[in-house]
Amino acid sequence: MTLPHPTADQISLPNVLAVLGDPTRLAIVRYLASKEGVPLNCSQFLDLGSKTNLSYHLAKLREAGVTRAEVVGTSRLITLRRDDLDRRFPGLLDSVIAAAVDDTALPVVGAHEIKIHA
């Protein structure tokens, strides 16, 4: 099974900004950035809500082109589409992540401190 993703050229700024305006989705992006390049299983985000709610947020991020979801067996591995986003909107993702790292109002994923790999 393959999930639909927009091509890099189909990623639009209004959609990306709208998706990142949600605290839960921004927390997901912040956590993905802290694990840069490592595909994460959906279950790693269960701190953020129910499976149904999480599925909704992950779908919105994928549909906007912010993340890529790869189906592996019964799991979905999520990665940040940094290269595509940086090519379309240079500096945007870095700015969003830098602001999100220190935002204590965002929900926290995992029990450890988040560190961004530059």
- The pLDDT, as a whole number, for residue 103 is 83
- The pLDDT, as a whole number, for residue 94 is 94
pTM to 2 decimals? 0.87
Q: Which CATH number fits domain 10-101: 1.10.20.10, 3.40.50.300, 1.10.10.10, 2.60.320.10?
A: 1.10.10.10
- The pLDDT, as a whole number, for residue 46 is 83
Per-run averaged pLDDT (10 residues), the chain, 118 residues: 89 96 93 90 85 93 96 91 96 93 80 45
- The pLDDT, as a whole number, for residue 47 is 82
**What CA–CA distance (Å, rounded) separates 77 from 67?**
10
